[in-house]
Chains A and B, each alone.
Chain A
Amino acid sequence: MKTDDLIHAIAEDAVPTGLKPQRLLALALAGAVVAAAILFWLLLGPRGNALVSLAEPRFVLKFLVTLGLATAAIGLVLRLIRPGVAPGLWRSALLLAPGLLLIGIAGELLTLPAERWMTVLVGVNARVCLTYIPLMGLAPLGLILLALRSGAPTRPALTGAVAGLIAGGISAAFYAAHCPDDSPLFVATWYVLAIAMLVALGALLGRRLLRW
Protein backbone atom coordinates (compact mmCIF):
# COMPACT_ATOMS: atom_id res chain seq x y z
CA MET A 1 0.00 0.00 0.00
CA LYS A 2 1.31 3.41 -0.88
CA THR A 3 1.56 6.05 1.77
CA ASP A 4 -0.97 8.25 -0.05
CA ASP A 5 -3.44 5.36 -0.07
CA LEU A 6 -2.87 4.82 3.61
CA ILE A 7 -3.54 8.52 4.25
CA HIS A 8 -6.80 8.24 2.36
CA ALA A 9 -7.89 5.26 4.45
CA ILE A 10 -6.86 6.91 7.72
CA ALA A 11 -8.69 10.14 6.85
CA GLU A 12 -11.90 8.19 6.20
CA ASP A 13 -11.57 6.78 9.72
CA ALA A 14 -11.39 10.31 11.20
CA VAL A 15 -14.20 10.08 13.76
CA PRO A 16 -12.68 8.79 17.01
CA THR A 17 -14.31 5.66 18.34
CA GLY A 18 -14.11 4.61 21.91
CA LEU A 19 -13.47 6.52 25.09
CA LYS A 20 -10.51 8.77 25.71
CA PRO A 21 -7.69 7.11 27.67
CA GLN A 22 -8.33 9.19 30.79
CA ARG A 23 -12.01 8.19 30.75
CA LEU A 24 -11.09 4.53 30.38
CA LEU A 25 -8.65 4.84 33.25
CA ALA A 26 -11.35 6.43 35.43
CA LEU A 27 -13.64 3.48 34.69
CA ALA A 28 -10.84 1.01 35.34
CA LEU A 29 -10.08 2.67 38.68
CA ALA A 30 -13.72 2.47 39.72
CA GLY A 31 -13.69 -1.20 38.75
CA ALA A 32 -10.39 -1.70 40.57
CA VAL A 33 -11.78 -0.28 43.83
CA VAL A 34 -14.90 -2.44 43.55
CA ALA A 35 -12.87 -5.57 42.78
CA ALA A 36 -10.49 -4.96 45.70
CA ALA A 37 -13.42 -4.16 48.01
CA ILE A 38 -15.23 -7.39 47.13
CA LEU A 39 -12.13 -9.51 47.75
CA PHE A 40 -11.48 -7.60 50.95
CA TRP A 41 -14.95 -8.26 52.36
CA LEU A 42 -14.86 -11.90 51.27
CA LEU A 43 -11.35 -12.73 52.47
CA LEU A 44 -10.40 -10.34 55.27
CA GLY A 45 -12.91 -7.74 56.44
CA PRO A 46 -12.05 -4.75 58.63
CA ARG A 47 -10.61 -5.36 62.07
CA GLY A 48 -13.08 -5.13 64.92
CA ASN A 49 -11.91 -1.81 66.27
CA ALA A 50 -11.39 -0.16 62.86
CA LEU A 51 -13.77 2.75 63.49
CA VAL A 52 -12.41 3.48 66.95
CA SER A 53 -8.88 3.31 65.55
CA LEU A 54 -9.57 6.28 63.29
CA ALA A 55 -8.58 8.41 66.27
CA GLU A 56 -5.18 6.70 66.30
CA PRO A 57 -2.63 8.63 64.16
CA ARG A 58 -0.59 5.54 63.26
CA PHE A 59 -3.74 3.83 61.92
CA VAL A 60 -4.72 6.89 59.85
CA LEU A 61 -1.16 7.22 58.55
CA LYS A 62 -1.50 3.83 56.82
CA PHE A 63 -4.33 5.23 54.69
CA LEU A 64 -2.60 8.52 54.01
CA VAL A 65 0.49 6.70 52.79
CA THR A 66 -1.25 4.10 50.64
CA LEU A 67 -3.88 6.40 49.15
CA GLY A 68 -1.32 9.17 48.69
CA LEU A 69 0.85 6.74 46.78
CA ALA A 70 -2.06 5.66 44.56
CA THR A 71 -3.10 9.27 43.89
CA ALA A 72 0.37 10.40 42.87
CA ALA A 73 0.79 7.31 40.72
CA ILE A 74 -2.51 8.06 38.93
CA GLY A 75 -1.36 11.59 38.18
CA LEU A 76 1.96 10.31 36.90
CA VAL A 77 0.50 7.55 34.75
CA LEU A 78 -1.86 10.00 33.05
CA ARG A 79 1.22 11.87 31.88
CA LEU A 80 3.21 8.77 30.95
CA ILE A 81 0.53 7.66 28.47
CA ARG A 82 0.68 10.96 26.58
CA PRO A 83 3.62 11.20 24.19
CA GLY A 84 5.60 14.42 24.42
CA VAL A 85 4.32 15.33 27.88
CA ALA A 86 6.89 15.65 30.68
CA PRO A 87 5.97 14.02 34.01
CA GLY A 88 6.59 17.37 35.69
CA LEU A 89 5.65 17.68 39.33
CA TRP A 90 3.91 14.32 39.45
CA ARG A 91 7.23 12.56 39.64
CA SER A 92 8.03 14.51 42.80
CA ALA A 93 4.48 13.94 44.09
CA LEU A 94 5.36 10.26 44.19
CA LEU A 95 7.81 11.09 47.00
CA LEU A 96 5.10 12.52 49.27
CA ALA A 97 3.85 9.16 50.53
CA PRO A 98 7.33 7.81 51.37
CA GLY A 99 8.08 11.19 52.99
CA LEU A 100 5.00 10.87 55.21
CA LEU A 101 6.03 7.36 56.11
CA LEU A 102 9.52 8.54 57.06
CA ILE A 103 7.99 11.14 59.37
CA GLY A 104 5.89 8.38 60.90
CA ILE A 105 8.98 6.23 61.38
CA ALA A 106 10.82 9.10 63.02
CA GLY A 107 7.91 9.56 65.43
CA GLU A 108 7.83 5.83 66.15
CA LEU A 109 11.57 5.67 66.87
CA LEU A 110 11.36 8.71 69.14
CA THR A 111 8.41 7.45 71.18
CA LEU A 112 9.11 3.72 71.29
CA PRO A 113 11.93 2.16 73.38
CA ALA A 114 14.62 0.65 71.15
CA GLU A 115 14.03 -2.90 72.36
CA ARG A 116 10.46 -2.76 70.98
CA TRP A 117 11.52 -1.70 67.48
CA MET A 118 12.16 -5.17 66.11
CA THR A 119 8.93 -6.50 67.62
CA VAL A 120 6.68 -3.92 65.95
CA LEU A 121 8.62 -4.19 62.70
CA VAL A 122 8.09 -7.93 62.49
CA GLY A 123 4.52 -7.49 63.74
CA VAL A 124 2.03 -10.35 63.87
CA ASN A 125 0.60 -10.24 60.38
CA ALA A 126 3.53 -10.05 57.95
CA ARG A 127 2.59 -13.21 56.06
CA VAL A 128 -1.02 -12.11 55.61
CA CYS A 129 0.24 -8.74 54.40
CA LEU A 130 2.59 -10.27 51.84
CA THR A 131 -0.19 -12.55 50.59
CA TYR A 132 -3.26 -10.37 50.50
CA ILE A 133 -1.90 -7.04 49.25
CA PRO A 134 -0.57 -8.63 46.05
CA LEU A 135 -3.64 -10.88 45.77
CA MET A 136 -6.19 -8.08 46.13
CA GLY A 137 -4.10 -5.96 43.75
CA LEU A 138 -4.12 -8.41 40.85
CA ALA A 139 -7.54 -7.53 39.46
CA PRO A 140 -6.94 -3.78 39.86
CA LEU A 141 -3.59 -4.12 38.08
CA GLY A 142 -5.19 -6.02 35.21
CA LEU A 143 -8.00 -3.49 34.81
CA ILE A 144 -5.63 -0.53 34.94
CA LEU A 145 -3.24 -2.06 32.40
CA LEU A 146 -6.15 -2.80 30.05
CA ALA A 147 -7.27 0.82 30.24
CA LEU A 148 -3.72 2.07 29.69
CA ARG A 149 -3.52 0.13 26.44
CA SER A 150 -5.56 2.94 24.91
CA GLY A 151 -2.73 5.31 25.79
CA ALA A 152 0.61 5.67 24.08
CA PRO A 153 3.32 5.29 26.72
CA THR A 154 6.79 5.73 25.27
CA ARG A 155 8.13 3.80 28.28
CA PRO A 156 5.90 0.73 28.61
CA ALA A 157 7.76 -1.01 31.45
CA LEU A 158 7.90 2.15 33.58
CA THR A 159 4.23 2.84 32.88
CA GLY A 160 3.37 -0.73 33.90
CA ALA A 161 5.37 -0.30 37.09
CA VAL A 162 3.44 2.86 37.95
CA ALA A 163 0.22 0.95 37.25
CA GLY A 164 1.50 -1.55 39.83
CA LEU A 165 1.90 1.31 42.31
CA ILE A 166 -1.72 2.36 41.78
CA ALA A 167 -2.97 -1.21 42.21
CA GLY A 168 -0.71 -1.70 45.23
CA GLY A 169 -1.85 1.55 46.82
CA ILE A 170 -5.53 0.66 46.43
CA SER A 171 -5.07 -2.88 47.67
CA ALA A 172 -2.88 -1.85 50.60
CA ALA A 173 -5.42 0.79 51.69
CA PHE A 174 -8.05 -1.93 52.03
CA TYR A 175 -5.62 -4.25 53.72
CA ALA A 176 -4.72 -1.49 56.19
CA ALA A 177 -8.27 -1.59 57.55
CA HIS A 178 -7.80 -5.25 58.41
CA CYS A 179 -4.24 -5.44 59.69
CA PRO A 180 -3.65 -5.03 63.45
CA ASP A 181 -0.06 -3.85 62.87
CA ASP A 182 -0.06 -0.06 62.80
CA SER A 183 3.63 0.65 63.28
CA PRO A 184 5.19 2.72 60.47
CA LEU A 185 8.11 0.31 60.79
CA PHE A 186 5.80 -2.55 59.83
CA VAL A 187 4.32 -0.55 56.94
CA ALA A 188 7.73 0.45 55.65
CA THR A 189 8.84 -3.17 55.60
CA TRP A 190 5.94 -5.40 54.63
CA TYR A 191 3.61 -3.04 52.77
CA VAL A 192 6.55 -1.83 50.71
CA LEU A 193 7.59 -5.39 49.91
CA ALA A 194 4.05 -6.40 48.98
CA ILE A 195 3.51 -3.35 46.78
CA ALA A 196 6.91 -3.91 45.18
CA MET A 197 5.67 -7.31 43.97
CA LEU A 198 2.81 -5.62 42.13
CA VAL A 199 5.20 -2.99 40.76
CA ALA A 200 7.51 -5.70 39.40
CA LEU A 201 4.57 -7.59 37.90
CA GLY A 202 3.23 -4.37 36.42
CA ALA A 203 6.60 -3.62 34.81
CA LEU A 204 6.80 -7.11 33.33
CA LEU A 205 3.26 -7.02 31.98
CA GLY A 206 3.55 -3.41 30.85
CA ARG A 207 6.55 -4.24 28.77
CA ARG A 208 4.43 -6.65 26.76
CA LEU A 209 0.94 -5.18 26.97
CA LEU A 210 1.61 -1.46 26.69
CA ARG A 211 3.65 -1.46 23.49
CA TRP A 212 2.00 0.13 20.49
Chain B
Amino acid sequence: MQAVSDREAEWAALMRAALGGDRAAYRDLLVALTPVLRAAARQGCLRFGLGVAEAEDVVQETLLALHLKRQTWDDTQPLGPWIRAIARNKLVDAMRRRGRRGAEVDIDAFSEVLAAPVPEDSGIRRDVAKHLQALAPGQRNVVQAIAVDGVSIREAAQRLTMTEGAVRVALHRGLATLAVRLRSSAT
Protein backbone atom coordinates (compact mmCIF):
# COMPACT_ATOMS: atom_id res chain seq x y z
CA MET B 1 0.00 0.00 0.00
CA GLN B 2 1.17 3.44 -0.94
CA ALA B 3 1.89 5.80 1.91
CA VAL B 4 -0.90 8.30 2.48
CA SER B 5 1.40 11.29 2.07
CA ASP B 6 2.76 10.00 -1.27
CA ARG B 7 -0.75 9.43 -2.50
CA GLU B 8 -1.86 12.88 -1.44
CA ALA B 9 1.17 14.50 -3.04
CA GLU B 10 0.24 12.74 -6.27
CA TRP B 11 -3.35 13.95 -5.95
CA ALA B 12 -2.14 17.49 -5.34
CA ALA B 13 -0.01 17.36 -8.50
CA LEU B 14 -3.02 16.14 -10.48
CA MET B 15 -5.19 18.89 -9.02
CA ARG B 16 -2.64 21.55 -9.96
CA ALA B 17 -2.62 20.23 -13.51
CA ALA B 18 -6.42 20.13 -13.53
CA LEU B 19 -6.67 23.75 -12.36
CA GLY B 20 -4.40 24.57 -15.30
CA GLY B 21 -7.00 23.01 -17.61
CA ASP B 22 -5.63 19.44 -17.93
CA ARG B 23 -8.79 17.33 -18.31
CA ALA B 24 -6.99 14.00 -18.37
CA ALA B 25 -5.22 14.78 -15.09
CA TYR B 26 -8.51 15.89 -13.60
CA ARG B 27 -10.23 12.68 -14.64
CA ASP B 28 -7.36 10.61 -13.21
CA LEU B 29 -7.69 12.48 -9.93
CA LEU B 30 -11.45 12.03 -9.71
CA VAL B 31 -11.20 8.35 -10.61
CA ALA B 32 -8.55 7.84 -7.94
CA LEU B 33 -10.51 9.78 -5.32
CA THR B 34 -13.90 8.17 -5.87
CA PRO B 35 -13.26 4.76 -4.24
CA VAL B 36 -11.77 6.51 -1.21
CA LEU B 37 -14.74 8.87 -0.94
CA ARG B 38 -17.07 5.91 -1.43
CA ALA B 39 -15.49 3.88 1.36
CA ALA B 40 -15.78 6.82 3.72
CA ALA B 41 -19.35 7.61 2.72
CA ARG B 42 -20.44 4.00 3.15
CA GLN B 43 -18.91 3.68 6.53
CA GLY B 44 -20.52 6.94 7.58
CA CYS B 45 -23.93 5.98 6.18
CA LEU B 46 -23.91 2.47 7.57
CA ARG B 47 -23.17 3.75 11.02
CA PHE B 48 -26.38 5.76 10.89
CA GLY B 49 -28.54 3.12 9.32
CA LEU B 50 -28.43 4.50 5.81
CA GLY B 51 -27.82 2.27 2.85
CA VAL B 52 -25.24 1.99 0.13
CA ALA B 53 -27.50 3.92 -2.26
CA GLU B 54 -27.52 6.94 0.03
CA ALA B 55 -23.76 6.66 0.31
CA GLU B 56 -23.46 6.92 -3.45
CA ASP B 57 -25.52 10.11 -3.34
CA VAL B 58 -23.05 11.48 -0.83
CA VAL B 59 -20.17 10.48 -3.13
CA GLN B 60 -21.74 12.33 -6.06
CA GLU B 61 -22.47 15.37 -3.95
CA THR B 62 -18.90 15.36 -2.68
CA LEU B 63 -17.48 15.10 -6.20
CA LEU B 64 -19.63 18.01 -7.33
CA ALA B 65 -18.60 20.06 -4.29
CA LEU B 66 -14.91 19.32 -4.85
CA HIS B 67 -15.39 20.42 -8.43
CA LEU B 68 -17.42 23.57 -7.86
CA LYS B 69 -15.27 24.67 -4.93
CA ARG B 70 -11.88 23.67 -6.35
CA GLN B 71 -10.68 27.25 -6.31
CA THR B 72 -10.90 27.29 -2.51
CA TRP B 73 -7.92 24.95 -2.39
CA ASP B 74 -4.70 26.87 -1.81
CA ASP B 75 -2.27 25.04 -4.11
CA THR B 76 0.61 25.69 -1.77
CA GLN B 77 -1.17 23.63 0.90
CA PRO B 78 -1.65 19.83 1.07
CA LEU B 79 -4.73 18.58 -0.73
CA GLY B 80 -5.75 15.90 1.79
CA PRO B 81 -7.17 18.12 4.56
CA TRP B 82 -9.15 20.10 1.99
CA ILE B 83 -10.72 16.96 0.53
CA ARG B 84 -11.43 15.51 3.96
CA ALA B 85 -13.12 18.70 5.14
CA ILE B 86 -15.38 18.82 2.08
CA ALA B 87 -16.22 15.10 2.26
CA ARG B 88 -17.00 15.37 5.96
CA ASN B 89 -19.15 18.43 5.38
CA LYS B 90 -21.16 16.66 2.69
CA LEU B 91 -21.65 13.58 4.85
CA VAL B 92 -22.79 15.66 7.83
CA ASP B 93 -25.14 17.53 5.49
CA ALA B 94 -26.63 14.29 4.20
CA MET B 95 -27.16 13.01 7.74
CA ARG B 96 -28.84 16.23 8.76
CA ARG B 97 -31.21 16.17 5.82
CA ARG B 98 -32.24 12.65 6.72
CA GLY B 99 -32.96 13.62 10.28
CA ARG B 100 -29.76 12.40 11.83
CA ARG B 101 -28.05 14.94 13.94
CA GLY B 102 -24.81 16.10 12.37
CA ALA B 103 -23.18 16.19 15.76
CA GLU B 104 -23.45 12.43 15.98
CA VAL B 105 -21.12 11.91 13.07
CA ASP B 106 -17.82 10.76 14.48
CA ILE B 107 -15.41 13.02 12.70
CA ASP B 108 -12.22 11.34 13.87
CA ALA B 109 -13.33 7.92 12.73
CA PHE B 110 -14.30 9.47 9.44
CA SER B 111 -10.84 10.93 8.91
CA GLU B 112 -9.31 7.51 9.49
CA VAL B 113 -11.53 5.96 6.88
CA LEU B 114 -10.41 8.46 4.30
CA ALA B 115 -6.85 7.44 4.92
CA ALA B 116 -7.66 3.72 4.90
CA PRO B 117 -7.01 1.32 2.00
CA VAL B 118 -9.44 1.41 -0.89
CA PRO B 119 -12.08 -1.34 -1.09
CA GLU B 120 -13.62 -2.58 -4.33
CA ASP B 121 -16.70 -0.88 -5.70
CA SER B 122 -19.64 -3.20 -5.08
CA GLY B 123 -21.41 -1.81 -8.12
CA ILE B 124 -24.69 -0.73 -6.58
CA ARG B 125 -25.46 2.72 -7.91
CA ARG B 126 -28.10 5.26 -7.27
CA ASP B 127 -29.54 6.98 -10.26
CA VAL B 128 -29.93 10.73 -10.08
CA ALA B 129 -31.48 10.95 -13.52
CA LYS B 130 -34.47 12.63 -11.94
CA HIS B 131 -32.28 15.60 -11.12
CA LEU B 132 -31.06 15.74 -14.70
CA GLN B 133 -34.66 16.04 -15.84
CA ALA B 134 -35.09 19.12 -13.70
CA LEU B 135 -32.36 21.07 -15.52
CA ALA B 136 -33.24 23.67 -18.13
CA PRO B 137 -33.35 21.97 -21.57
CA GLY B 138 -30.14 23.60 -22.82
CA GLN B 139 -28.18 22.50 -19.77
CA ARG B 140 -29.81 19.09 -19.70
CA ASN B 141 -28.92 18.27 -23.30
CA VAL B 142 -25.31 19.23 -22.74
CA VAL B 143 -24.92 17.39 -19.42
CA GLN B 144 -26.71 14.37 -20.84
CA ALA B 145 -24.51 14.24 -23.93
CA ILE B 146 -21.28 14.65 -22.02
CA ALA B 147 -22.08 12.65 -18.88
CA VAL B 148 -24.35 9.88 -20.06
CA ASP B 149 -23.26 9.51 -23.68
CA GLY B 150 -19.66 10.21 -22.78
CA VAL B 151 -18.81 12.63 -25.60
CA SER B 152 -16.28 15.46 -25.35
CA ILE B 153 -17.13 19.16 -25.32
CA ARG B 154 -16.21 19.41 -29.00
CA GLU B 155 -18.40 16.44 -29.98
CA ALA B 156 -21.26 17.78 -27.88
CA ALA B 157 -20.93 21.13 -29.64
CA GLN B 158 -21.17 19.47 -33.06
CA ARG B 159 -24.03 17.24 -32.04
CA LEU B 160 -26.08 20.06 -30.51
CA THR B 161 -24.98 22.65 -33.10
CA MET B 162 -23.70 24.95 -30.38
CA THR B 163 -20.35 26.71 -30.02
CA GLU B 164 -17.83 25.03 -27.73
CA GLY B 165 -17.93 28.05 -25.47
CA ALA B 166 -21.71 27.76 -25.09
CA VAL B 167 -21.37 24.04 -24.33
CA ARG B 168 -18.76 24.81 -21.70
CA VAL B 169 -21.00 27.38 -20.02
CA ALA B 170 -24.05 25.10 -20.15
CA LEU B 171 -22.04 22.21 -18.70
CA HIS B 172 -20.71 24.32 -15.86
CA ARG B 173 -24.10 25.77 -15.02
CA GLY B 174 -25.71 22.36 -15.33
CA LEU B 175 -23.27 20.87 -12.83
CA ALA B 176 -23.82 23.77 -10.44
CA THR B 177 -27.59 23.31 -10.70
CA LEU B 178 -27.25 19.57 -10.12
CA ALA B 179 -25.27 20.26 -6.96
CA VAL B 180 -28.00 22.57 -5.66
CA ARG B 181 -30.71 20.03 -6.45
CA LEU B 182 -28.85 17.15 -4.84
CA ARG B 183 -28.33 19.27 -1.76
CA SER B 184 -31.94 20.31 -1.42
CA SER B 185 -33.49 16.90 -2.09
CA ALA B 186 -34.42 14.93 0.98
CA THR B 187 -34.18 11.44 -0.45
In the complex, residue of chain B having the shortest beta-carbon distance to the beta carbon of A83: B85
Q: Which chain A residues lie closer than 8 Å to B132 at the CB level?
A: 1
Nearest-neighbour CB distance to chain B for A28, whole angstroms, equals 15
CA of A13 to CA of B23 in the docked complex: distance in angstroms?
8
On chain A, the residues within 8 Å of B31 by CB distance are 7
Q: In the docked arrangement, what's the CA distance between A5 and B147, Å?
A: 5
Choose one: B19, B27, B38, B128; the contact of A1 (CB below 8 Å).
B128
Are A3 and B23 interface neighbours, CB within 8 A? Answer: no
A3-18 residues with Cβ-Cβ distance < 8 A to B are 3, 5-18
Kindly specify which of A148-156, A189-197, A201-209 makes contact with the partner chain: A148-156
CB of B150 within 8 A of CB of A5, answer: yes
A-contact bits for B18-33, CB 8 A (1 contact / 0 none): 1101111011001100
Verify if A185 is at the interface (C-beta below 8 Å from B): no
Residue of A nearest to B179 (CB): A212
Per-residue A-contact encoding for B166-187, CB less than 8 Å = 1, 0 else: 0011011011000100010000
Number of residues from A at the complex interface, CB < 8 A: 30
CB of A2 within 8 Å of the partner chain: yes
Is A84 in the interface zone, CB < 8 Å from B? yes
Give the complex CA separation of A49 and B146 in angstroms. Answer: 66
Number of interface residues of B (CB under 8 A): 56
Are the C-beta atoms of A1 and B146 separated by less than 8 Å?
Answer: no
Chain B contacts with A in 12-64, Cβ cutoff 8 A: 18-19, 21-24, 26-27, 30-31, 34, 38, 56, 59-60, 63-64
Please determine whether B67 and A21 come into contact, CB atoms closer than 8 angstroms: no
Residues of B with C-beta under 8 A to A1: 60, 127-129, 131-132, 147-148
Other 12 A-B pairs with CB < 8 A, given A6-B63, A9-B146, A11-B30: A7-B31, A8-B147, A11-B23, A12-B23, A14-B21, A82-B74, A83-B72, A85-B77, A154-B85, A212-B68, A212-B179, A212-B183
Subset of 10 A-B contacts with CB under 8 Å? A1-B148, A3-B125, A5-B150, A7-B63, A12-B23, A83-B81, A84-B80, A150-B72, A154-B85, A212-B65
A-contacting residues of B (Cβ < 8 Å)? 18-19, 21-24, 26-27, 30-31, 34, 38, 56, 59-60, 63-65, 67-74, 77, 80-86, 89, 125, 127-129, 131-132, 143, 146-148, 150, 152-153, 168-169, 171-172, 174-175, 179, 183
